[in-house]
Amino acid sequence: MSNVNFKPVLGILAVAVLSACTMIPKYEDPKVAVAETFKYDTAQNGIQAASLGWQDYFADPRLHSLIDIALKRNTDLRTAVLNAEIYRKQYMIARNDLLPSINGTANATRQRSAADLSATGRSSVSEAYTVGLGVAAYELDLFGRVRSNSQAALQGYFNSASTRDAAHLTLVATVAKAYFNERYAEESMALAQRVLKTRESTYKLSQLRHKAGVISAVDLRQQEALIESAKADYENAVKNREQARNALAKLINQPIPDNLPQGLPLSKQFKIAKLPAGLSSEVLLNRPDVRAAEFALKQANANIGAARAAFFPTISLTGSLGSGSTELGNLFTGPNRTWSFGPTITLPIFNWGTNKANLDVAKLRKESQIVAYEAAVQSAFQDVSNALVAREQLDKSYAALNKQSRAYSEARRLIGLRYKHGVSSALDLLDAERSSYAADTQVLAIQLTRLENMADLYKALGGGLKRLSSDKENAK
């Protein structure tokens, strides 16, 4: 028995394992009805968002520093990163089930037998020493249950990695928008201060004219009201700035550092004015949320394979190979080799109903994931389409409001000169100042909206995240 040849047995096992198949249904991409191109994709040429890192898109060095800090410290992103790592480890556990678990054992015992229990009527002391390698309940994956579970775990990891990428991209856009709101508030403060100085200068002239009897007290009170309105606008802008900073502090999970670079004005926040969208199929491949939905669907598809395999027998092997002796010196010498081999076959007999229900549940979950995938694609297409049409209209509105602002500013200047020379009335001047200030405020507001739209479009187009290949490498 000590000369048993295990090579044929191992060969049979190797063939059985290598020839194991799975019962996972063939995966097919769901057909989703979306247009091939986007209607308002006017920027046909240029670098695609998926190939453009955020450092090459956003221009402000202060914003760069804030995004860097957020990517390291933001709690939501760190949670997504940890979840992805958890799923990767779970996949490694499931993958290792494909291989037998071999454990080394060593045992030494020394015992005394009582005289009354001994066949010789004498007490005795005995010793026993054993060492060996053992395989415990290794399942031969003949019907692909273990492989199906491993594939489901792999797709679950890819899903979590894509969810992490979506959180990464969302964080970049969110930090940018919060920063734009801070810059907008600061420029609103500067505008309110400029208007306040202009109105105070006009008010001093009006006081002189009122003393000379040229204008009435009503005109003077109206100018005082405009001065107080500018002060209120300034304080409101201060409130908005502080709230934007509070939002940034939450996003970076710490107070805003004092040593950040100087920020750029709103008009110089981007290095690229217009991103091309390209074909909808390309955009959808670049969207991490769409990829996450696709991996969730593949995971559900793999679970069907595991549910199908449950209808078939399970064959497990338990075995060991070692050596034993009553003397430690003879443990590895002589005819002291030991071995054991014990296959176990489990046949499903009275659990057909349970297995059938589990298979039906797996199929229903796949159908649910198909619906979720279709919803993710339609939502992504809507996001891009909405961002593109908003960009088109905002650009036109911004150009028109800029011209309006310049026209009102020039009118205010001319009416101010006429007012100094007594040609225009105080009412004309008040109307001109109100119109000019309102136009400048509108320009700032639409400038903020345009910047937010550009950040949203970068996110909607997939924003330069290329982690899929590296995730596949990590999963090997």
pLDDT value, residue 115: 77
**Mean pLDDT to the nearest integer, 14-36:** 74
Residues 308 and 321 in one domain: no
Residues 225 and 108 in one domain: no
Instruction: Please say if the pLDDT value at position 151 is more than 60.
Output: yes
Residues 166 and 31 in one domain: yes
% pLDDT > 70, the chain? 92
- In the three-class reduction of DSSP (H, G, I as helix; E, B as strand; rest coil), residue 264 is classed as coil
Residues 392 and 457 in one domain: yes
- Model confidence at 471, pLDDT cuts 50, 70, 90, reads low
Residue 9 lies in a domain: no
Nearest by Cα to 63 from 223, 180, 204: 180
pLDDT value, residue 247: 96
Instruction: Please write the tens of the pLDDT for every residue from 358-414.
Output: 999 999 999 999 999 999 999 999 999 999 999 999 999 999 999 999 999 999 899
Percentage helix, strand, coil, to 5, in the chain?
Answer: 65, 10, 25
In degrees rounded to 5, what are phi and psi of residue 335?
Answer: -80, 60
- Mean pLDDT (the chain, rounded): 86
Instruction: Please say if the pLDDT value at position 330 is more than 70.
Output: yes
pLDDT value, residue 8: 42
Contact criterion met (CB below 8 Å) for 404 and 439: yes
**Continuous segment of H or E residues that includes residue 313:** none
Residue 15 lies in a domain: no
The rounded distance, in Å, linking the Cα atoms of 173 and 335 is 73
Contacts of 213 (CB under 8 A, 6+ apart): none
pLDDT value, residue 9: 44
Contact criterion met (CB below 8 Å) for 155 and 295: yes
Instruction: Please say if the pLDDT value at position 1 is more than 50.
Output: no
Q: Are strands 124-140 and 337-346 parallel, antiparallel or unpaired?
A: unpaired
- Domain CATH number, residue 378: 1.20.1600.10
Query: DSSP readout, 399-452?
Result: HHHHHHHHHHHHHHHHHHHHHHTTSS-HHHHHHHHHHHHHHHHHHHHHHHHHHH
**Mean pLDDT to the nearest integer, 145-173:** 93
Could you tell me how far CA 315 lies from the centroid of its own chain? Answer: 41
pLDDT value, residue 173: 95
pLDDT value, residue 3: 47
Query: Which residue, 327, 347, 367, sits at the end of a domain?
Result: 347
Residue 6 lies in a domain: no
Contacts of 122 (CB under 8 A, 6+ apart): 115
Nearest by Cα to 320 from 142, 106, 110, 127: 106
Contact criterion met (CB below 8 Å) for 196 and 220: no
**Continuous segment of H or E residues that includes residue 112:** strand 102-113
Residue 271 lies in a domain: yes
Residue 16 lies in a domain: no
Residues 248 and 393 in one domain: yes
pLDDT value, residue 414: 93
Residues 245 and 318 in one domain: no
**Mean pLDDT to the nearest integer, 256-265:** 94
Residues 282 and 326 in one domain: no
Burial 148-163 (b: 16+ CB within 10 A, else e): bbbbbbbbbbbbbbbb
Instruction: Please say if the pLDDT value at position 318 is more than 50.
Output: yes
Instruction: Please say if the pLDDT value at position 185 is more than 50.
Output: yes
Lowest-confidence range among 15-24, 162-171, 191-200, 278-287?
15-24
Contact criterion met (CB below 8 Å) for 424 and 418: yes
- Domain CATH number, residue 110: 2.20.200.10
Q: What is the span of the domain harbouring residue 339?
A: 100-140+314-347
Instruction: Please say if the pLDDT value at position 88 is more than 70.
Output: yes
Instruction: Please say if the pLDDT value at position 12 is more than 90.
Output: no
Please give the C-alpha separations between residue 267 and each of 196, 254, 438, 443, 454, in angstroms, as whole numbers.
23, 28, 19, 11, 13
pLDDT value, residue 469: 46
Burial 84-120 (b: 16+ CB within 10 A, else e): beebbeebeebbebeebeeeeeeeeeeeeeeeeeeee
Residue 4 lies in a domain: no
| Number of separate domains in the chain | 2
Contact criterion met (CB below 8 Å) for 415 and 428: yes
Query: Which residue, 304, 323, 347, sits at the end of a domain?
Result: 347
- Model confidence at 234, pLDDT cuts 50, 70, 90, reads very high
Instruction: Provide the token pair at 136.
Output: 């415990």
**Mean pLDDT to the nearest integer, 118-139:** 80
- Model confidence at 424, pLDDT cuts 50, 70, 90, reads confident
Residues 291 and 162 in one domain: yes
The rounded distance, in Å, linking the Cα atoms of 130 and 106 is 6
The rounded distance, in Å, linking the Cα atoms of 83 and 78 is 9
Residues 135 and 151 in one domain: no
**Mean pLDDT to the nearest integer, 448-457:** 96
pLDDT value, residue 476: 58
Contacts of 26 (CB under 8 A, 6+ apart): none
Instruction: Please write the tens of the pLDDT for every residue from 45-77.
Output: 778 888 889 999 999 999 999 999 999 999 999
pLDDT value, residue 297: 95
Residue 12 lies in a domain: no
Instruction: Please write the tens of the pLDDT for every residue from 194-222.
Output: 999 988 888 888 888 788 887 788 888 88
- Model confidence at 470, pLDDT cuts 50, 70, 90, reads low
The rounded distance, in Å, linking the Cα atoms of 274 and 391 is 9
Residue 215 lies in a domain: yes
Lowest-confidence range among 61-65, 234-238, 270-274, 346-350?
346-350
The rounded distance, in Å, linking the Cα atoms of 174 and 449 is 14
Residues 294 and 418 in one domain: yes
Instruction: Provide the token pair at 38.
Output: 């986007």
Contact criterion met (CB below 8 Å) for 317 and 340: no
Residues 300 and 322 in one domain: no
Residues 35 and 85 in one domain: yes
pLDDT value, residue 107: 83
The rounded distance, in Å, linking the Cα atoms of 124 and 147 is 53
